[in-house]
Amino acid sequence: MHTVWKGNLSFGLVNIGVKLHSAIEEKDVKLISLHKDCLVPIQHEKIAPGCDDDRIEANDIIKAYEYRPNEYVLISNEELESMKKAYEVKSVTIISFVQLEEIDPVYFDRSYFLSPTGGSEKAYVLLRQALERTGKIGIVSISLRSRQHLAVIRAHERCLILETIHYPDEVRTVDMVPNIPADDQITIQTKEFIAATTLINQLTVPFVPADYTDQYRTALLDLIESKIEQHDVQSKPILSPTSERIATIIEALNASIEQTKSTAKPKPVHKSTQVTS
């Protein structure tokens, strides 16, 4: 499993060498865009509308922040790299412990498995068992993929798992959502409420992740497999050189061979010459 991050996890004065591995495997069916006539993949070129340059090269692109319409603060690659190094977290310290139920699911972002490095197995198991016994999770700060993240560490089966969470200012408030009715604006009859709660209770089951599948992805894969089995596929035509061009190449090769024969002369071998393999 690919290592995303490697460093130390500090639990008080206890240091645990850990590796971070992505717990998520994207299962999207990747479709590409082709030109329908020649089946050539469509290229998305970087252009600057209104600029004299037809195509933009990578070294012509700079980073900037638009602080007012059409007004920018330019930030160089050197400045970005300097800040990344200054704020990169190589050692993670558990800042505090909280109850998992205190964090609303809207804050959770991405999950990673934590594995111990050599010699840290005992401390790793100790932290995992302590989290299991207390029912707590640890709050940490970590640098991943060129940005700093707030994250939690919790026990997950026999493993420790790290989950990045959004900062409070990244999560929009309910007040920003339009047309949310207040309870005093809507009248709910008692029999309606009883019927709704009864239905919820009847549909309540233990959560088994394996019971849920991506039906769209499954149907799309079935469609692709069906088309392959029915030979309903298209192949991009391979353009062959013309026979005239082939003849020219062959003539050139033959001429080269003949030229080599006429100019090649056997090299004299002296008795003092040593041949090594």
CB contact set of 107 (below 8 Å; sequence gap of 6+)? 165, 166, 171
| Model pTM score | 0.63
The letter for the amino acid at 31 is L
3-state SS, 64-89, equals EEEEECCEEEEECHHHHHHHHHHHCC
Residue 269 confidence (pLDDT): 45
Residue 66 confidence (pLDDT): 84
Higher pLDDT, 53 or 199: 199
Q: Would you say residue 245 has pLDDT above 70? A: no
Looking at the DSSP bridge assignments, the partners of residue 110 are: 164
Task: Tell me the average pLDDT across 136-147.
Answer: 84
Distance between CA atoms of 55 and 67, rounded to whole angstroms?
26
Q: Is 145 helix (H, G, I), strand (E, B) or coil?
A: coil
Residue 210 confidence (pLDDT): 81
Dihedral sign, Cα of residue 124, residue 26, residue 3, residue 86: negative
Task: Return the ∠ at Cα 76 (arms to 70 and 82), rounded to 5°.
Answer: 135
Average the pLDDT over each of 90-99, 113-122, 140-149, 226-235 and give the range with the smallest value. 226-235
pLDDT per position as a tens digit, 174-216:
888 888 888 888 898 999 889 989 988 988 888 787 877 777 7
Distance between CA atoms of 55 and 64, rounded to whole angstroms?
20
- β-strand 5-11 against 91-93: which pairing, if any? parallel
Domains of the chain: 5-24+89-170 (2.40.290.10)
| Total residue count of the chain as it appears in this document | 277
pLDDT per position as a tens digit, 64-91:
888 778 888 888 888 887 777 766 666 7
Q: CA dist 118 to 4, 12, 17, 230, Å?
A: 17, 20, 8, 52
The letter for the amino acid at 149 is H
Higher pLDDT, 114 or 25: 114
